[in-house]
Amino acid sequence: MSYWRPLVQVGPSRPAKALPLAGGWGWFTHLERLERDGSAQVVSADALPDDVQVRLTTPRAHVAGLAMDRPRIMAILNATPDSFSDGGQHEGDAAQAGARRLVGEGADIIDVGGESTRPGAQEVPVDAEIARIQPVIAALRAEWSGVISVDTRKAPVAAAAARAGATMLNDVSALTWDADMATTAADSGLPICLMHAQGDPQTMQDAPHYDDVLLDVYDHLSDRIDAATSAGIDRERIVIDPGIGFGKTLEHNLSLLARLSLFHTLGCPILLGASRKRFIGTIGEADTPGDRMPGSVAVALAGIAQGVQIVRVHDMAATRQALRLWQAATSGETP
């Protein structure tokens, strides 16, 4: 089996024979054909099998009403005391103020979480998680018509969030943690993001290992998409996330980031969540998560240059400003 990675380009100098990437801002004329034996070859788009070409070029479906024809920013709002970067900053009334700030800074999606999934984090009881996220989502929905996502791996929490006004689900376990999550997601009719993780938060950084991290993550997400569709979740409602930092070493993360465009071949929008993670601090020499904004923005823009449709970030205003400048610089036009 070959794996096909489009070599994504952006900008106004687009050859007539270039193929559009997923109905977005990128295009490609060549691909990298990867094999499980480690070999790789750059080939012309003429070599693409018909079914792969269709998956790569077909415009992505809207996600909760949001068109995927331009980059979208998902802003993080953790209503938790122990998240690795912003724990304790958005509890109670502070969560409402934080949500309003993110809206004002131009968030396309606000992702509300009530359970930390940082390395070593402990599971939060369902009732406690619901108590954290439900009032935040309800209050935000009363003031804002945009996309509200709930970051949870638990079916009862997802159902409570949907009742409160959430319009998207974000499951870091890709439907593997809670046996009822697939049915709940199918019944809700909401789009869902399926993320790759090796292990759970308590164990995922205990010597993670892969035969080939890029292809192993790709195959896992392909399998989880199949599981979701078998459970009644329409493929057009699925977003995928390679899970940077979830059961990966620094080297694993960099291998995924360098070839992110491979995941377009799955035919779903891609979400990249790398904001403030440890590898950014290691490479960028920033020990404190709050000091990792420049590195986080750099990684987000690198993903967008490969056609990633959604970036999940802590630094909303900085990312919006950077994205506007990136769009202006690559298109030659004011966005």
Residues designated catalytic: 277, 312
State whether residue 76 is helix, strand or coil.
strand
**Long-range contact pairs involving 320-327 (C-beta distance under 8 Å, separation at least 24):** 320/73, 320/105, 320/106, 322/297, 323/71, 323/73, 326/301, 327/70, 327/71
| Tokens representing residue 334 in the block | 């004011």
Distance CA 203, CA 217 (A): 18
CB 22 within 8 A of CB 309: yes
CB 149 within 8 A of CB 172: no
DSSP string spanning 125-147? PHHHHHHHHHHHHHHHHHH--SE
Distance CA 189, CA 105 (A): 29
Q: Which residues face 271 on adjacent strands?
A: 310
Distance CA 292, CA 280 (A): 7
